[in-house]
């Protein structure tokens, strides 16, 4: 993580306020939250709509902060002899500090964006790189205007590879993040329905995601899913990129830089080979064909940096996966496939494909929450798509998910589609339809918080089910 003197910090930010005696004081790391602040951190108070970090300076000092940034628009802090660096805006200062620090590092930075698969691709790529290079990655889902600068500032001086996830909710955001990170490589996973409520069309989503290219260095590499028609249109045509930037594609088609020549999906993960005579049979310990496609994109980058297949497989064998995404939970009486982080239509279809493909279960139960998109027609379409051949029961919870149930009920047998008003009713109804040997897909957006239902299911004894 960043370690600099206060004078260096002040100069990197073109700030002011330090006393000469404070110039040589050193900070180790940055914190925006007094609850997790560590001794010697630089405290950066962020002002949001519902909070103001400037009000917690006393707590930061108590926790051992070395110094603080301070917005010139805030009342001056009532502290004596505590180092204060004044800046125009503390959020902008955090982003500037991250950019300046990144420029001082020799680290190769890989940025990842897309409607779906960002986090999984991040985890896969970091694992592939980790056995050859000192590698760091975005923690959890810190992929926004605050999370990305914190990720960059967390990089160690000797980090060789940084895998940075980049999300957005509006145009202009990815460009800012990509330029901040000064990318060596950019990966674009796909263009989906996420953010249709704010960007209104997939073409607008494409343009917002393509902003990542603006942050590439002159000799950078862009890697994209060539099966995605929007990305193919935006990046596949001649002249779409500056001539100094190289592009490579991945996907299922043989026209791509990397594609699978064979694959087999199992309960433990996916075995596959790629279009390289030297390619061994690679095992990805993640569920679903869509995860293999994410792995293909990661492989393009790993091979670009000359990582051997032995190192790639060794890394995958020890991969650290971000939680609440396609977790396979094997219990004594039944199995849960839990994905409670994201639930847009594209990711729902991917999870359903996993469910459809697994065999040996007495029944298959689907629990769906709202998609996070405020569009009734999207939910109605999902209800029409649910397979009566592969699903025994459909249960939904959420004000929008009821539209999934409404259209699904016209196709399933009576009593096999159940709309629940809340999670208490949901658990009650699950207990009525579950049986020994069932598998339950639980899929919802963060707003649904369906991990609570998963936790209660894990405690459930089928002997208590009436």
CB 2 within 8 A of CB 153: yes
Domain boundary, last residue among 275, 292, 317:
317
Residue 462's pLDDT is: 53
Q: Which tokens is 449 given?
A: 């918080």
Regarding whether 268 and 236 lie in a shared domain, the answer is yes
Distance, in Å, from the CA atom of 83 to the CA atom of 77, rounded to the nearest integer, reads 11
d(CA 61, CA 223): 45
DSSP reduced 3-state for 270: strand
- 296 part of a folded domain: yes
Q: Is residue 252 part of a domain?
A: yes
pLDDT at position 466: 41
Residues 291 and 398 in one domain: no
Determine the angle formed by the axes of helices 289-304 and 345-357, rounding to 10 degrees: 110
d(CA 226, CA 216): 19
Contact 370, 444 (CB under 8 A): yes
Read off the CATH number of the domain in which 129 is found.
3.40.1190.10
DSSP state of 415: T
177 and 298, same domain (yes or no): yes
Is the Cα dihedral 420, 421, 424, 425 positive or negative?
A: negative
Q: Give the number of domains in the chain.
A: 3
* Cα–Cα nearest to 138, from 95, 99, 109: 109
> Do 235 and 290 reside in the same domain of the chain?
yes
Phi, psi values for residue 422, rounded to 5° = -155, 180
Binding site for ATP, by residue number, is 114-120
Residue 22 lies in a domain: yes
What is the CATH number for 458?
3.90.190.20
Residue 405 belongs to some domain of the structure: yes
- 95 within a domain of the structure (yes/no): no
294 in the same domain as 244: yes
The answer to whether residue 98 sits within a structural domain is no
Last residue of a domain, one of 26, 55, 90: 90
At residue 464, the pLDDT reads 47
Same domain, 10 and 31: yes
Q: Residue 327 and residue 249: Cα distance in Å, rounded?
A: 28
How do strand 270-274 and strand 282-284 relate by DSSP bridges?
A: antiparallel
Is 438 in a helix, a strand, or coil? Answer: strand
Domain assignment present for residue 99? The answer is: no
Q: What is the CATH classification number for the domain harbouring 30?
A: 3.40.1390.10
Domain end, chosen from 297, 317, 337, is at 317
The rounded radius of gyration (Å) of the Cα atoms in the chain is: 24
Q: Do 231 and 294 fall within a single domain?
A: yes
Domain that holds residue 74: 3-90
pLDDT along the chain (466 residues), means of 10: 97 96 97 96 94 95 97 93 96 98 97 93 97 95 93 97 93 95 97 74 91 94 96 84 91 96 89 94 93 97 97 95 77 88 83 89 93 81 93 92 93 94 92 92 85 87 49
Binding-site residues from annotation: 114-120
- Of the candidates 203, 193, 250, 205, which has an alpha carbon nearest to the alpha carbon of residue 224? 250
């Amino acid at each position: 993580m960043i370690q600099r003197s206060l004078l260096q910090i002040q100069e990197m930010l073109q700030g002011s306020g330090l006393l000469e005696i404070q110039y040589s004081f050193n900070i180790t790391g940055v914190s925006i939250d007094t609850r997790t602040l560590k001794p010697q951190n630089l405290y950066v108070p962020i002002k949001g709509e519902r909070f103001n970090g400037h009000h917690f300076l006393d707590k930061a000092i108590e926790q051992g902060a070395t110094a603080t940034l301070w917005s010139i628009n805030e009342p001056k802090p009532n502290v004596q002899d505590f180092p204060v660096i004044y800046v125009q805006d503390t959020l902008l200062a955090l982003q500037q500090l991250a950019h300046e620090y990144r420029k001082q590092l020799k680290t190769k930075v890989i940025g990842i964006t897309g409607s779906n698969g960002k986090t999984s691709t991040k985890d896969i790529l970091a694992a592939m790189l980790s056995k050859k290079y000192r590698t760091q990655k975005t923690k959890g889902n810190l992929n926004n205007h605050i999370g990305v600068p914190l990720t960059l500032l967390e990089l160690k001086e000797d980090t060789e590879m940084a895998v940075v996830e980049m999300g957005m909710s509006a145009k202009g955001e990815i460009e800012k993040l990509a330029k901040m990170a000064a990318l060596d490589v950019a990966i674009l996973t796909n263009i989906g329905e996420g953010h249709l409520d704010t960007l209104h069309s997939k073409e607008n989503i494409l343009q917002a995601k393509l902003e990542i290219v603006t942050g590439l260095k002159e000799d950078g590499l862009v890697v994209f899913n060539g099966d995605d028609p929007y990305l193919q249109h935006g990046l596949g045509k001649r002249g779409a990129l500056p001539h100094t930037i190289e592009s490579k594609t991945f996907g299922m088609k043989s026209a791509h830089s990397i594609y699978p020549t064979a694959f087999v999906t199992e309960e433990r993960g996916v075995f596959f080979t790629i279009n390289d005579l030297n390619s061994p049979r690679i095992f990805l310990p993640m569920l679903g064909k869509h995860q293999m496609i994410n792995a293909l994109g990661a492989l393009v980058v790993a091979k670009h940096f000359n990582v051997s297949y032995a190192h790639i497989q060794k890394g995958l064998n020890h991969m650290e996966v971000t939680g609440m995404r396609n977790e396979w939970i094997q219990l004594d009486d039944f199995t849960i496939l839990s994905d409670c982080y994201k639930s847009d239509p594209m990711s729902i279809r991917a999870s359903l494909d996993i469910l459809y493909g697994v065999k040996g279960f007495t029944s298959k139960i689907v629990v769906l929450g709202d998609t996070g998109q405020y569009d009734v027609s999207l939910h109605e379409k999902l209800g029409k798509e649910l397979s009566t051949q592969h699903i025994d029961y459909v249960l939904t919870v959420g004000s929008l998910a009821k539209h999934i149930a409404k259209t699904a009920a016209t196709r399933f047998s009576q009593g096999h589609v159940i709309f629940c008003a809340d999670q208490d009713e949901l658990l009650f109804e699950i207990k009525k339809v579950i049986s020994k040997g069932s598998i339950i897909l639980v899929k919802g957006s963060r707003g649904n918080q369906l991990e609570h239902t998963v936790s209660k299911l894990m405690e459930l004894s089928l002997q208590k089910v009436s």
